[in-house]
Amino acid sequence: MQTKNIGLRNIEVADTKISAIDGINGKLIYRGYDILDLVKKSTFEETACLLLNEDLPTQDVLSAFSDKLVATREIPEGLEKTLRNIPKTANPMDVLQSTVSMMAVYDTQKTDDRETNYNRAIDLISKIPIIVACWDRIRNDKEIIQPSKKLNHAGNFLYMLTGKEPDTEASRIFDICLILHAEHSFNASTFAAREVASTRANMYAAVSAAVGALSGELHGGANFQVMKMLLEIGSVEKVEQWIKDKLAKSQKIMGMGHAVYKTFDPRAEVLRELSRKLAEKTGQPWYAITKRVEEVTEEEMKKIKSSDIFPNVDLYSASAYYMLDIPMDLNTPIFAISRASGWTAHIIEEKFAEAAPKPMLYRPKAVYVGKYCGPSGCEYVSIEKRLAQI
């Protein structure tokens, strides 16, 4: 007997007011606002506040939210000591997952009401980039850069990572990247967070689960693989043959295609332009190579399947991060830096949804397709006699 809807594809498991994806028309909506409008007019701080508060904030609300983000930027001394004791060869996502779960032991708030979880959300959004930046400095035997009180969320991370204050353009480009990655409905990591939250586990446990889900190469690691691809290709002239060779072996071209979008991913549309601007700024070839990858893949896939394939969010984010001098293996942690806002919004919604004052524990049903030995089950055979049966 075969199960249907493997991976819960197209199964509606909950209501949400946080975001919506229109895969047919290529739309991504945060709390009713089009992502293409937000990246033109908003900031990451305002977008995160929107996700947590159900609507765009007033100036007073946004100022209070931003001030809290800045005020909680420092990580506990014990957490910093833990980071220093981790092997420097550790995977950054493993480091992030373990330290996020450890944040629970430093939380002195005893209640689990909405306001407390709102404060925890701000704490996580603020501290996750600090953890990532500190870890990168520690593993490279560099002094930790103390967080700035004057830089915005995006600018402070780049400053703590590199030791140099980013210029206005670089800071704004990274700010837009964070907006684009902040939320994407019930993807694997968000569903993991909500499933854990449904057990009444604390927010840190739920976010730690989300980080774990994001660490998988089928979810959060794709833009790292895209950059490896671009480095392997090396030049625009080599793109066409490289793509043809991969497709001839039925291998996937990273950054192309999406499980939900059947047209252009709106985030990729924005990131393409950001990558172009950074290429002009830095003189690096990665935008040109990426653009050619997109073109050749589309041309070749039409020959094979007679159907269109479009770039996803990973294709151009890889080159954008690389040209911002961000280490390749931090691409997925940066995803977490941004998505912390969406995760925490979903956790709060899961815990306190008005439509479900007593939300149910997630408990999907599986279809058993294992060994069947009759109504009473298989007969237990003692271990001494089992060898004789083989």
- Which residues are known catalytic residues? 258, 314
4: confidence class by pLDDT, cuts 50, 70, 90:
low
Enter the CATH code of domain 19-221+324-352. 1.10.580.10
The vertex-42 CA angle with 283 and 278, nearest 5°, equals 5
Which of 141-155, 165-179, 251-265, 316-330 is least confident?
251-265
The predicted structure's pLDDT at residue 306: 63
Residue 18 sits at φ, ψ, to 5 deg, of -85, -50
- Name the burial class of residue 233, with classes exposed (0-12), middle (13-18) and buried (19+) by CB atoms within 10 angstroms of its CB: buried
Query: In which band, very low, low, confident or very high, does the pLDDT at 229 lie, cut at 50, 70 and 90?
Result: very high
pLDDT at 373 over 90: no
Asked if residue 213 lies in contact with residue 238, where contact means CB atoms within 8 angstroms, the answer is no
First to last CA, the chain: 27
- Cα dihedral 19/220/100/173 (nearest 10): -70
Return the pLDDT at 375.
73
pLDDT classification of 1: cutoffs 50, 70, 90: very low
Where in the chain are the domains? 19-221+324-352, 234-322
The CA-atom distances, in angstroms, between 109 and each of 104, 119, 127, 194, 203 are: 10, 9, 17, 21, 12
Return the CATH number of 234-322, one of 3.40.1350.10, 1.10.357.140, 1.10.230.10, 1.20.58.220.
1.10.230.10
pTM summary value: 0.92
Q: For 254, which DSSP code?
A: T
Percent pLDDT > 70 in the chain is 96
In single-letter form, the type of residue at position 29 comes to I
pLDDT in tens, 305-353: 767 889 999 999 999 999 999 999 999 999 999 999 999 999 999 998 7
Contacts of 164 (CB under 8 A, 6+ apart): 158
